[in-house]
Amino acid sequence: MQHVTPEWTGGIIAQVLAGAWRAGGPPLEVEPEEFQRIAPRLHETGTGALVWWRVRGTAFADTETGDGFHQAYRLHTLEAELHALRLTDVLCRLDAAGVDALVIKGWAMARRYPEVGLRSYTDLDLIIRPGQAEAAKVALAVPPALEDPVDVHDGPSRIDALGFDQLDERSEAAPLGARLVRILGAEDHLRLLALHALRHGVFRPIWLVDLAVCVEDRPPGFDWERCLGPVRRQREWVIGAIALAERLLGAHVEDTPAAGRARALPGWLIREVLRNWACDTGASHPELVFDALIARRRHPRLAWAEVRRRWDRPIEATLQVGGPFNHLPRWPFQVVAVARRAPTLLRDLRRTITSDNPGAR
């Protein structure tokens, strides 16, 4: 029997999702036992509908495991319709409050897939004009309560180098029911998706599928210079993320700046992504470190695992210190990244101490 390691598990996930977004993807060359063993993890990563799209019409579809993915496909298709209705509600509230918003990630990405239900998501992501955060907060708090969490970015400064006005000027109108909404231009969205995935260690496989879809379905006249931007290191990161999509998922990148780059990707980067896919070691909005440790203080193994999870994040550390994706060891980058986070860690520690002991000064 195959010895199951995180790298093996991540590798099977990559095999199952390779080309899954295409109407005629490559044959699925995994054993039925492997497919059954990896099924729970695929459901956990939110790729169930996409897996069904991959295996429909094959022998895998006629198994109990395949039927589970068919059910996931039906569920995600229904959820996509509900998300669209809820996004309309959110944008109507913001319009009424005079808040300018650009829709990113989830819904804006799902519409690029062959069917919107193939790309699952749980929250609604928006960039709003800087200075309008308070107005947005008030508008979204008006009853009835929203059924989907809304991730509101007060300007793009934390997620992109361009300003709101630049992104807005280059944005596109997309139909949502009876209205039009503003989404990022294809070049800007691909860059944002690539950098977002890397900042979080590419711990969700769907993020790499997103890049493959964006690259293969890019519109005529797609401007790679606009997409990559003027910052050299950022250009390298975006190209590296696209090369990852080729290496792990078979994305077609022959006519892109990433052509031929997949073979040069360092082994640690591949292993880290596969490990993250297998173990779900990341989080888009992680719990504060000291809160996490205090919650696990009675369970030393869990506390130690939390420490390792916070430290052993080579992809995030590389971006935090502005480093390259080369073959050098990652621990120096991780040390520097931790040192740079020290002021934040101390502030979080004081907040945690104060919250546990209201009388502390």
- Domain boundary (253, 283, 313) is at 283
- Confidence band for 26, pLDDT divided at 50, 70 and 90: confident
* Number of independent structural domains in the chain: 2
- Confidence band for 361, pLDDT divided at 50, 70 and 90: very low
Residue 55 has pLDDT above 80, yes or no: yes
Residues 275 and 344 in one domain: no
Residues 25 and 152 in one domain: yes
- Domain boundary (283, 301, 320) is at 283
Dmax (CA) of the chain: 66
Residues 64 and 208 in one domain: yes
Region 68-91 average pLDDT? 96
Q: Which residue has the higher pLDDT, 239 or 361?
A: 239
Write the DSSP assignment of 188-207 as a string of letters.
Answer: HHHHHHHHHHHHTTT-SHHH
Residues 40 and 58 in one domain: yes
pLDDT tens profile 294-339 = 666 666 666 556 556 665 789 999 999 999 999 999 999 988 988 8
Quick one: residue 329, left, alpha or beta (phi over 0 = left, psi -120 to 50 = alpha)? beta
Find the distance separating the first CA and the last CA of the chain, reported in whole Å.
58
95 in a structural domain: yes
Cβ neighbour number for residue 107 with a 10 Å cutoff: 22
pLDDT in the model for residue 183: 98
Segments forming the whole domain that contains residue 34: 6-283
1 in a structural domain: no
Stretch among 36-45, 55-64, 85-94, 347-356 having the lowest mean pLDDT: 347-356
Mean pLDDT over the full length of the chain: 89
Residue 237 has pLDDT above 60, yes or no: yes
Residues 344 and 298 in one domain: yes
Residues 140 and 48 in one domain: yes
CA 226 to chain centre: 22
pLDDT in the model for residue 303: 56
Residues 352 and 294 in one domain: yes
- Domain boundary (268, 283, 298) is at 283
Q: Compute the distance between CA of residue 143 and CA of residue 79 in angstroms, rounded to an integer.
A: 22
Residues 34 and 122 in one domain: yes
pLDDT in the model for residue 340: 84
pLDDT tens profile 138-179 = 999 999 999 889 999 999 998 898 999 999 999 999 999 899
The amino acid present at 203, given as its one-letter code, is F
Residues 358 and 338 in one domain: yes
Structure tokens at 23: 């109407």
